[in-house]
Amino acid sequence: MSAGRSAAWLLLLVIPVGFTGVWQLQRKISGQRAEMNQEQDEVLVRSPKLMKLVTLEYGTLAADIYWTRAVQYYGGKRLGQDTNLESLWPLLDVATTLDPNLIPAYRFGATFLSQPEPRGAGRPDRAIQLLRRGIDANPEYWRFYQDLGNVYYLNLKDYPRAGEAYLEGSRKPGAAPWMKVMAARFLEKGESRETAVMLWSELFQSSTDTAIKQNARSNLELLRTDEDIDHLNEAVKQYAAKTGRSPKSMRELVQAGLIAGEPVDPRGVPYVIARDGKAQISDKSPLHKEESIYRRAL
């Protein structure tokens, strides 16, 4: 009986110590794993010339590996909500040097680079550099001029250069007829809602990448809200002219016969009247959160 009690007391003393040891071990392992992941980014071979010399006839295979690594790196950073994409350019640099004809690396790589943080690296300059390299290696591929024009238009607001890129691409064999249309719009009108809708619609329809399609979809929805809000604010002005005050809710506009019914945004959430008396997206709508992110791309 005494021996049993002694064993029980021993277990009571040992178990907490054991749990503490396991916890410390787990913490150490987690820390080492994080350090290892960081090292994988930092230890990356960043010299394209060196990799080209080392891989020799296996350069194309090595390029595919580097491109796959770039996609995984970008995806992993986005899932982990990490905005540090410092290693993205070296990965793309090596991949496209090893295989100058690796079309997806130029196209999607430029998108990853040019998109503002936190959706991308916020480096449109690198995106342009990458696309120029792609054009030099694949001069007849007209889609590169489309991508180049998009970076100038969406990220740099440089409408003349965007128009020039589209115009040059429109002269390439097999280029879509709308390339000339978009070139004219960029060169004549610069930034306009109609131009932006055309651009994002084409991107949404032509892209096979999920992230790019989601980006285009969100921007199209936000452009639609801009149009809706413009119409609603016209009704707000009419209401104020009739009553001498701004409306406090959409219901007042409906009751005054200025709008047919309670309007909703593309996600199905009703618009609201803000404190300043103007219409806006409801803070309950998913678009309210996306607005602060995606607006930087316009």
Question: pLDDT tens for residues 144-165?
Answer: 999 999 999 989 999 999 999 9
The CA–CA distances, whole Å, from 33 to 29, 40, 43, 44, 70 equal: 6, 11, 15, 17, 20
Q: Report pLDDT for 103.
A: 96
* Higher per-residue pLDDT: 28 or 260: 260
Per-residue model confidence (pLDDT) at position 258: 94
Q: How far is CA 221 from CA 224, 270, 298, in A?
A: 5, 14, 13
Share of the chain above pLDDT 70, in %: 76
What average pLDDT does range 14-29 have in this prediction?
A: 46
- Give the model's confidence band at 58: pLDDT under 50 very low, under 70 low, under 90 confident, else very high: confident
In this predicted structure, the answer to whether residue 270 has a pLDDT above a threshold of 90 is yes
pLDDT single digits (tens) 36-50: 444 444 435 566 666
pLDDT score at 267 = 94
Question: So what's the pLDDT on residue 26?
Answer: 46
Model confidence at 250: pLDDT above 80 = yes
pLDDT, mean of residues 184-195: 76
Tokens linked to 123:
């480096």
What's the pLDDT score for residue 237? 95
